[in-house]
Amino acid sequence: MRKGQYRFVAGFLFVPVALYVIFVIWPYIQTFGYSLTDWKGQSQTFDFVGLDNYRALFQDDVFLKAIWHNILFLVFIPVITILLALFFAFMLNVGGRSRAGGVQGVAGSKFYKIVYFFPQVLSLAILAVLFNAVYRSDGGGLLNGFLIKIGLVDADSPVEWLNEPSMVLWALMLVVVWHGVGFYLVLFSAAMQSVPRDIYEAALIDGAGRTQSFLRITLPLLWDSVQTAWVYLGIVAMDMFVLVSSMTQNMGAYGGGPDHHSDVMSTVMMRNFLYYGKSGYACAMGVVMLLLTLILSVVTLRATRRERIEF
Amino acid sequence: MGSTAHHGAEGVGRRDLIKRSAALGLVAVPGMGLMSACASGGDSGNSDGGDTKGKTSKDNPFGAKKGSKLDVVVFKGGYGDDYAKAWEADFGKKLGITSTHTGTQEITGKLQPRFNAGNPPDIVDDSGAQQIKVDVLYKNGQLLDLAEVLDAPSVDDPAKKVRDTLIPGTLDPGMQEGKVVALNYIYTVWGLWYSGKLFKEKGWEEPKTWDDFLAVCKDAKSQGIGGLAHQGKYPYYINVAIMDLIAKKGGLDAMKAIDNLDPKAFVGSDAAQAAVEAVYEVVEKGYLMPGTNGLTHTESQTRWNQYKAAFITCGSWLENEQLKQTPTDFDMKFLPMPVLSGSKLPFEAIRAGSGEPFIIPAKAGNLPAAKEFMRRMLSKEWSTLFAKQANSLTILKDGVDPGVQLRPGTQSTVEASKAAGDNTFRYLYTEWYSEMGTAIEAASNELMAKRIQPKEWLKRCQAAVDKQAKDPASKKNHRD
């Protein structure tokens, strides 16, 4: 490098790094600091309590349950979303019946692509309103209304979708998957379009069916995109705050019901932080969330690491 | 992302990262010192006794200074915030103090940073779903003891102290550790509500006993109408019914046992057992409005307005909240909770008390004006302004000009209050112990969904009480 170039580069790097340190790293450090105190959230007087908050955390049934709910989301949301998105993307791009000398999507694929993307333009808040109407617990709900009409559900005892411990997590998961599939479909489509057609054509000539060309060609060549999607969806699964707090039965504040069956770490944290006034304790939860998210990212990146295929 | 994973430099980068994060850990310790430094720097907003202190006089006992500014933050919910604007205009006219008005639903979001920084507003209506809990603010030393305002001469009759012009007991919910730190301004009654029109149509009588109540529910159900509706998504509301029944059955002692965290507040209390079994009977017999357990307050109240249920549990804000949804001939009526047999309190007894806490932050910039503002809130003139703008009563005794025409629901609460006389009660555990309140609500939610039985409900509530009793801070709250 030429003389002076380092300074030039450093100049450009400094501002973003400084912003990052002030607005991301410093709050993390502060949170850690507060997590060692009995801060109550509405003033700056507090005492240092060492690791008491962390000790209490591992005996807090509600928080431990919430971790499990996040883990459940973590397992199912990425898997279901990615599989569906991959399937649809494959069908839209190369899944069509092969006519002479061409590889193409199913009929009307352009139309589908736009339709699938629709949910993604809705904000989470609108999504919550929408699905509250779908899951509404009396005959006025979309699902209940339909099921009552076709006689599957008794009008006197409609299904309380979000008030059933065994159903509430799945009901929430459906919202996230419905919301996410369109975006990842477009992501995967873009990646698929960069795969040279001649590879598919060669496979076709060799007699590969849809399944084989998907598993042997598409998936390996899309691995980078899948990995990215996995990390993003993992972060979504670790959060879930908006949907849980605005859709589920209220447990004091920030949803989480029935009986904490849908509580996730972020809702428990906010409830403790503001509603119970146990802010130092909530900061300890925040630190645990940070650690779990870090571990998750590292594990995901390691576990999905593969040889890169050049094409 | 993955494509760079095999790059040679990556390993070094990671090791560097670990080293750096260890360094960050070291920074965290002095960071603590910095934070407390912030804390001590936060008092600059406090200028009590400084340039906001004017001359005191008979009309102005706190010496609110003409030309100073008052920072008012009001929860803009069911009651709107027009009443506060009317007050502020009057305040400006009479005292020459201009107000900055903020009407918001996001009390916590807007005020938490200000409390922490030490420059809170001068007076706050701290209500709504996003209120900053009063117990939390108090524990943080942010609230002014309102004794000074309450012992000041009343605007209407300077011979009397402000505190003697209020409905007895209405200051209690604003007490923390024996001090009044929040003025719960609105007089609210809780219980059941029904439509006078529907009852006339069906020939139902106002039920005074629980058996009569069940009979109405049964008849309603046979005609395809739900018996009892509640706002299931917020289990707070069904607790109105359960807790009222406990207090009426067992008398004030049963209520105080819960507030005072008695080891026999629930398990071993006959009143609690009878009450929860009575409510569970409604569930078991299918008298709940279908689906009500999962509905929000607006959804289920609107259903009730559409004659889909005979009764609903709520406080007296209901009428104002449902103004738009209520049919004009609905004839909304309040009903005290019907009594179980052998109840210690009569049917007329109601849960009544004050809500909508107004607070003055201890570190308010213009304390004299804030105190004067609150003193004037408790005058007949301002109380009438409120009743007109917000369709509700205040804690001021006879606080509304007789000329003001009230809506049917509000009118029926006035009559119910008169009939109740001194037979009113009010739980305080919800103000004192947010966490315990949540645990009881969670249990009630399970009970209404038939996932637990009354016995289990009692056990869970008792466990919540016992857990709260272990917290040393709860020793300071006690009612006799």
Domain CATH for A217: 1.10.3720.10
Burial of B118 (0-12, 13-18, 19+ CB in 10 A): buried
A258 and B137 within 8 Å at the Cβ level: the answer is no
CB contact under 8 A, B291 and A158: yes
- Is pLDDT larger for residue A197 or for residue A27? A27
Q: Is residue A18 part of a domain?
A: no
Asked if domains B69-180+360-401 and B188-351+426-476 share a fold, the reply is: yes
B69-180+360-401 architecture in CATH?
3-Layer(aba) Sandwich (3.40)
Residue A293 in this model has a pLDDT that exceeds 60:
yes
Partner-chain residue, chosen from A42, A136, A164, that has the shortest CB–CB distance to B142? A42
A246, part of any domain: yes
What's the Cα-to-Cα distance from B44 to each of A32, A255, B242, B453, rounded to whole Å?
Answer: 27, 38, 48, 55
**Rounded to an integer, what is the distance from CA B175 to the centroid of its chain?**
13
- At A11, the pLDDT band (50, 70, 90 cuts) reads confident
pLDDT band at B97 (very low <50, low <70, confident <90, very high): very high
Query: Angle, to 10 degrees, between the axis of helix B367-377 and the axis of helix B82-95?
Result: 120
- Relative to beta strand B123-125, strand B179-180 is unpaired
Which residue of chain A is at minimal alpha-carbon distance from B112?
Answer: A42
Which helix H or strand E contains B395, and what residues bound it?
A: none
**Domain regions of chain B by residue span:** 69-180+360-401, 188-351+426-476
Express each pLDDT in A47-96 by its tens digit.
898 899 999 999 999 999 999 999 999 999 999 999 999 988 888 887 66
Yes or no: say if A262 and A65 are a contact pair by the CB < 8 Å rule.
no
- B35 interfaces chain A, CB cutoff of 8 Å: yes
Architecture of the domain delimited by B188-351+426-476: 3-Layer(aba) Sandwich (3.40)
| B111 has pLDDT over 70 | yes
Mean pLDDT (whole number) for A159-175: 94
pLDDT at B22 over 60: no
With a CB cutoff of 8 Å and minimum separation 6, the contacts of A280 are A34, A35, A36, A37, A38, A39, A40, A46, A49, A53
A3 within domain boundaries: no
Whether residues A277 and B5 touch (CB distance < 8 A) is answered with no
When pLDDT is cut at 50, 70 and 90, the band that residue A311 belongs to is: low
**Domain annotation covers residue A31:** no
A155 and chain B in contact, CB less than 8 A: yes
Cβ within 8 Å, pair A44-B31? no
- pLDDT digits 0-9 by tens, B23-43: 444 333 333 333 333 333 333
Q: Which helix (H) or strand (E) holds B480?
A: none
Lowest mean pLDDT among A101-105, A273-277, B124-128: A101-105
Q: Which two tokens stand for residue A43?
A: 């003033």
**B39 touching A (Cβ < 8 Å):** yes
Flag if B35 and A158 touch (Cβ within 8 Å).
no
DSSP state of B445: H
Which residues in chain A are contacts of B449 at CB distance < 8 A? 160, 163-164, 258
Cβ-contact B193, B311 below 8 angstroms:
yes
**A95 within some domain:** yes
B383, two tokens: 């109380």
Q: How confident is the model over A91-101, as pLDDT tens digits?
A: 888 766 655 44
Number of CB pairs, chain A paired with chain B, less than 8 A apart: 164
**What's the mean pLDDT in B388-408?**
81
Query: Which pLDDT score is estimated for A90?
Result: 84
Contact state of B232 with A305 under an 8 Å Cβ cutoff: no
Under a CB-based contact definition with an 8 Å cutoff, are residues A103 and A201 in contact? yes
pLDDT band at residue B15 using 50, 70 and 90 as cut-offs: very low
On chain A, the residues whose CB falls within 8 A of the CB of B292 are 137-138
The average pLDDT across A36-49 equals 85
Count of other CB atoms within 10 angstroms of residue B344:
15
Q: How many domains does chain A have?
A: 1
Distance CA B295, CA A298 (A): 41
Say which amino acid occupies B372.
E
ipTM over 0.90: no
pLDDT of residue B44: 39
pLDDT at B30: 36
Phi and psi for B56 in degrees, rounded to 5?
A: -90, 150
Burial string for B392-423 (b: 16+ CB within 10 Å, else e) reads bbbbbeebbeeeeebeebbebbbebbeebeeb
Question: Residue A238 belongs to what domain range?
Answer: 54-303
Element (H, E) at B156: none
Query: What residues of chain B, 416 to 455, have a C-beta less than 8 Å from chain A?
Result: 434-435, 437-438, 441-443, 445-446, 449, 451
Whether chain A has a CB inside 8 Å of the CB on B16: the answer is: no
> Which residues on chain A are in Cβ contact (under 8 Å) with B112?
41-42, 274
Task: Tell me, yes or no, if A44 comes closer than 8 A to chain B by beta carbon.
Answer: yes
Give the residue-averaged pLDDT of B303-328.
93
